[in-house]
Structure 1
Amino acid sequence: MQELVHRAPSSAIRIVVIALLGWAILNAAIIVLAHGFLPFDRPNLITMPFWLQVAMPSFGLIEQLALMGVVALMTRKRPSTLADRTPTRGVAGREVAYTLVYAMIAQAGGWIIGPAFGFRPFSFHIAGTLVGCSTLASPAEATVWASYNFIAFAIVPYLWFRRRYSNYELCLVFDGPGNDLLVVLVVLVIESAVQLAAMKNIFALPLSVMLVAAPLSFTIFLFGTVLPTMILVYAILLPRYYKLTGSVPLSVILGGLTYASLHLVEGWSAFDTPEDTALSILFVFLSYTGPGMFKSYVTLRTGNAWVHALGYHAVAPHTIIDAPMIARVFRLI
């Protein structure tokens, strides 16, 4: 037992060191391939110098790690119950395997169904999310995108697993409601303040437009990405990652990588050349692994997948940053 106590911290440190090394290699690969230019369709960032575009995800990671510290402080008296909500390791391993296979098939289905309707390939974000795009989605594209993702990544997995597991076992219950809501509020206030300081475009909307665009943006992204993310990654996969690894750092990293892998074809991606394709895929992992890791950590600490969805997804960023884009998509301005 004493050997295990001493081994656990060293194992966690080793995982963190390897992760930081991987992060550095990822950044270096992007710099080498890009030759000072990122070929992405991101008009909101077009005036930003190359070095800052590459550095932004790392700045974001620093903030996400700081937020993890805040969450750790707020949940320090809560025991972890996640391992008690999952099946045996053998069952968990099989469930992880077939869930990941299903997720990849469903994502490939979005790449087919989007163009079949005359739209762009679907990912976990609609074209224009967060960074803008040269050709906005139509109302029909936004609606079909949200509907497909909600059915494929939320409804189907939830119904499949709900046959055998309760909402508590799927981390969809506020079993510590006071602390859960406190974490939601604190994270939401901090993240909203950071995003409003960096991007004030929501305030450029007339008040009458904002009052329609903000709830509309909340709703579109709730069904298109927030609930699919919450169910597939954090209600189903993350607890099983923890069961298989027994490691919080490794589970957090796996959750982040899974979240990033669901965004492989973004609206801003470029696939014109092999270099552009490699840059697009690498930048997806650079951009989304950090947020996915934070969502993982919050879920591990609270045992409640709703906490990250409400505190760090539905409002910030997809209402605060994306309301102006949704206002243009639905011809409100």
Structure 2
Amino acid sequence: MLNDTGKHTLYAILGYIGISAVGYILLKQFGAPFVAHQPLVEHASAADRFWDLLAASLWCLVLIGIIVLITRGYRNKQLMSPGRESSKKEIYLLLGYMAFAQLLGFGLGKLLGFHAISFHLAGSIYGTHEHLKLAEMLVWSFYNFIMYAVLPVLYFTLKKGYTLSQLNIVSNQNVLRDTIIIIIIIVIESIVQLGGLSDALLSLTPRQIIFGGFAAFIFNLFGTAIPTAVFLFAILYPRFKAVANSAVIPIVLGGLTYTALHFFDSWMVFSSPGAFLASFSALFMQYFMPGVVKSVLTDRTGNPWVHMWAYHVFVPHVIIDTPHFVDSFDIR
């Protein structure tokens, strides 16, 4: 007989398989409108997109196995959170705030003549490959940094009386151990992403890699990496753990929340119900498993900053987005 953890793991796997099957049907039925602006892939079938997404998800499972292996036997302090009842109230507050911030970002981006502001800059993953203006990049990064990092920390420290340690912003974990984990994941992910996802970085000149990579690092650090680490994994995720009487449910909720934070990414298509459903299916398959990987890294290390350095700002964003910044800034 399976214990509760085994049951929850089985339910999560079956749920993912079911949702993926529905996604395959939707993509077959309605196509893949979210790749319409990418010349290199616009002729690929929706089925090809599905299998690419599924392959990426399966790799995430392998990566989770590696993370569990390299953190086996480690003893870390638990992520700090208030009691169960307080955590439950704060989860509702944080999720409501997240929905508000996403809707406000959508409206603000459109009002300024930009793309909707979500957790990925326009042109990352899928979508437009047009030259983005510096103003849009600055607004995107400042908005996310302020809304998802600065304001939540100010609210919980000044209004609720938490310390930075109680919010997991300051970590007292083993720095050397965490650094080793970060380096291992970066090396593995860099090889996989350059070999299987995109090797466009390798076609750039050293000057383009240096300046484009620096721009990709800085904008993504403030625009998505720090906001994700602070809002989701330092503040919200520990409250999931406090409320859920399960080792698996918080990890699943972390993946779902990470997906929701990208709801208005520029490549999402809302022009018709079919286009939306197909895009939403891809959104889930694109972000859920990476969100699960980030949750596992946070859970296993007790440090919400490890995933940021190991599995976000350098890989994938510097590796994948550097050519986009080189193009936008016309770096020669």
Name the SS for the 2:248 alignment partner: helix
Cα 1:170/1:48, change in 2 over 3 Å: farther
In structure 2, distance between residues paired with 1:282 and 1:35: 11
In structure 2, distance between residues paired with 1:52 and 1:183: 33
CA deviation vs aligned residue, 1:106-131 (integer Å, no higher than 9, x gap): 11000111011111111101111023
Q: How far did residue 174 of structure 1 move?
A: 4.5
Is the Cα contact below 8 Å between 2:121 and 2:265 reproduced in 1?
yes
Cα 1:286/1:332, change in 2 over 3 Å: same
Q: Which amino acid aligns with 2:281?
A: L
Cα 1:132/1:276, change in 2 over 3 Å: closer
Residue 47 of structure 2: aligned partner: 51
Q: Which amino acid aligns with 1:21?
A: L
Q: 1:98 aligns with which of 93, 96, 105?
A: 93
Residue 4 of structure 2: aligned partner: 11
Out of 12-21 and 191-200, give the one that drifted further: 12-21
How many equivalent pairs are there?
A: 325
- Ranges in structure 1 where 5+ consecutive residues have no aligned partner: 1-5
TM-score, with length taken from structure 2: 0.92
- Ranges in structure 2 where 5+ consecutive residues have no aligned partner: none
In structure 2, distance between residues paired with 1:133 and 1:65: 30
Q: Which amino acid aligns with 1:24?
A: I
Q: Which amino acid aligns with 1:166?
A: T
Residue 74 of structure 2: aligned partner: 78
Out of 262-271 and 161-170, give the one that drifted further: 161-170
In structure 2, distance between residues paired with 1:70 and 1:166: 33
In structure 2, distance between residues paired with 1:76 and 1:167: 28
* RMSD over aligned Cα atoms: 1.8
Q: 2:56 aligns with which of 53, 60, 64?
A: 60
Name the SS for the 1:78 alignment partner: coil
Extract structure 1 runs of 4+ deviating beyond 4 A.
Answer: none
Map of 1:250-329 to 2, 5 A cutoff?
A: 250-329=249-328
Residue 166 of structure 1: aligned partner: 163
Q: Which amino acid aligns with 1:151?
A: I
Map of 1:172-321 to 2, 5 A cutoff?
A: 172=169, 173-198=171-196, 199-321=198-320
Cα 1:195/1:126, change in 2 over 3 Å: same
Is the Cα contact below 8 Å between 2:185 and 2:310 reproduced in 1?
yes
In structure 2, distance between residues paired with 1:24 and 1:35: 16
In structure 2, distance between residues paired with 1:193 and 1:73: 19
Residue 3 of structure 1: aligned partner: none
Q: How far did residue 233 of structure 1 move?
A: 0.5
In structure 1, distance between residues paired with 2:247 and 2:129: 40
CA deviation vs aligned residue, 1:157-194 (integer Å, no higher than 9, x gap): 12222343333333331411121111111011101110
Is the Cα contact below 8 Å between 1:127 and 1:136 reproduced in 2?
no
**Percent identity, aligned pairs only?**
31
Q: How far did residue 285 of structure 1 move?
A: 1.2
Q: How far did residue 47 of structure 1 move?
A: 4.7
In structure 2, distance between residues paired with 1:109 and 1:193: 37
Cα 1:317/1:47, change in 2 over 3 Å: farther
